[in-house]
Amino acid sequence: MIPFNKPHMTGKELWYVSQAHANGHLAGDGSFTKRCSAWLEHRIGCHRALLTHSCTAALEMAAILARIGPGDEIIMPSYTFVSTANAFALRGGVPVFVDIRPDTLNIDEALIEAAITSRTRAIVAVHYAGVGCEMDAIMSIAERHGLIVIEDAAQGIMSSYKGRPLGSIGHLAALSFHETKNIISGEGGALLINAPEFIEQAEIIREKGTNRSQFFRGQRDKYTWMDLGSSYLPSELVAAFLWAQMEEAYEITARRLEIWETYHKNFEAVEKQNRVRRPVVPSECTHNAHMYYLLLPDLKKRTAFIATLMQQKVGVVFHYVPLHSSPMGEKCGRKSGPLVRTQLLSDRLVRLPLWLGLEEYQNEVIQQVIAEL
Ligand SMILES: *Cc1c(COP(=O)(O)O)cnc(C)c1O
């Protein structure tokens, strides 16, 4: 079986975990956490990077920071992971689903203004497949209407939009280090803060609603309950593992990009024959090869394609089931417009294996894919 995903290890993870063990500091915010957050702040250029135990946790922190309450509306694509919507629904917020662009499958920025009401508080820009949303347009809409922009950059580490790293543009951003992403720690994430007014409150929310971070820095003589919060920080063992990955982030990205490019070149001819559509990366974006997907003609073709490839032991999978038509999306969310593209494109999309080490088998995958198109 050629699996769809295989987590990449650099070889240094356990060495760093053993160092954390030897340091005797196992709870969060030790020296490895500090190294990881400093790396993110330097690499991405955000004001603060706070490690969390998942991207889901970082999105939940963003919802608390944005002071989302019952009835507040949050604009987002329907074509996204459940955590994008859940984080806000947990606070009583109403996800407002907007259709996606036909090229990048990111939120269609031209449809955002029509979705804004007096209850709108925030826009979530999900960078699908690590390819940036039209952030200039989104930021200027947000500014005109006084809205907070949260980048769901779960898939977007090491990607950029107009030379700016994804995660550095919105007021807040969330990264994921889940084992299915490019840089991993099993489960893991980070909240990136670009609007400095959120920093102090974010530290409090992450530390169970207390000002313990300030206490540890000697800025307070005791710590106490200040705000809503939860335990959002990862253990040092997880941060130690993550550090090994960050050290090789450039190499990992370069190798993924080679695999991505090999797919892309090899499917050029079948796209010309209109048998398939390849991913589109706008010229103002550089990407991180998080994902290689193809758009097949329709759902029937895709279902048959996945069944055949799985039979031939090639791990290919579809992706998001649109949130607007899910049971929970219908119950707590609202559609803005008919979302026709979301439905059609999600039915047609199939993801191909992309992991370090695939190089050996990639030709085989390509041959089998082309034979089934
Ligand atoms: C993976 C992913 C998440 C969730 O990340 P976790 O770290 O597993 O919580 C959220 N949003 C998007 C777009 C993702 O791809």
CA of 23 to the centre of ligand 1 (A): 31
* One-letter-per-residue 3-state SS of 15-68: HHHHHHHHHCCCCCCCHHHHHHHHHHHHHHCCCEEEEECCHHHHHHHHHHHCCC
Closest CA to 289 of 164, 156, 198, 193: 156
Clarify whether residues 76 and 193 are in a common domain: yes
Clarify whether residues 365 and 230 are in a common domain: no
Q: What is the pLDDT of residues 123-170, one digit of tens each?
A: 999 999 999 999 999 999 999 999 999 999 999 999 999 999 999 999
Clarify whether residues 226 and 366 are in a common domain: no
Mark which of 231, 247, 263 sits at the end of a domain.
Answer: 247
Clarify whether residues 137 and 253 are in a common domain: no
Q: Which of 5, 55, 106 to mutate to test the pocket of ligand 1 (most atoms within 8 A of CB)?
A: 55
Q: What is the pLDDT of residues 206-222, one digit of tens each?
A: 999 999 989 889 998 88
CATH assignment of the domain containing 96? 3.40.640.10
Verify whether residue 181 is a known catalytic residue. Answer: yes
pLDDT (mean) for 341-370:
98
Considering the chain, what percentage of its residues have pLDDT values greater than 90? 97
Q: Per the domain annotation, does 4 fall within a domain?
A: no
Mark which of 188, 220, 247 sits at the end of a domain.
Answer: 247
- Tell me, using a 6 A CB cutoff, whether residue 281 lines ligand 1: no
Catalytic residue among 6, 181, 222, 265: 181
Into how many domains does the chain fold? 2
DSSP 141-199: HHHHHT-EEEEE-TT-TT-EETTEETTSSSSEEEEE--TTSSS--SS-EEEEE-SGGGH
**pLDDT reported for residue 317:** 98
Clarify whether residues 194 and 139 are in a common domain: yes
Task: Looking at the CA of residue 59, tell me the nearest atom of ligand 1.
Answer: 10
CA of 187 to the centre of ligand 1 (A): 10
- Tell me, using a 6 A CB cutoff, whether residue 155 lines ligand 1: yes
Q: Per the domain annotation, does 191 fall within a domain?
A: yes
Q: Which of 79, 107, 176 to mutate to test the pocket of ligand 1 (most atoms within 8 A of CB)?
A: 176
Clarify whether residues 222 and 320 are in a common domain: no
Clarify whether residues 324 and 207 are in a common domain: no
pLDDT (mean) for 77-101:
98
- Tell me, using a 6 A CB cutoff, whether residue 81 lines ligand 1: yes
CA of 350 to the centre of ligand 1 (A): 18
Domain that holds residue 272: 249-372
Considering the chain, what percentage of its residues have pLDDT values greater than 70? 100
pLDDT (mean) for 51-73:
98
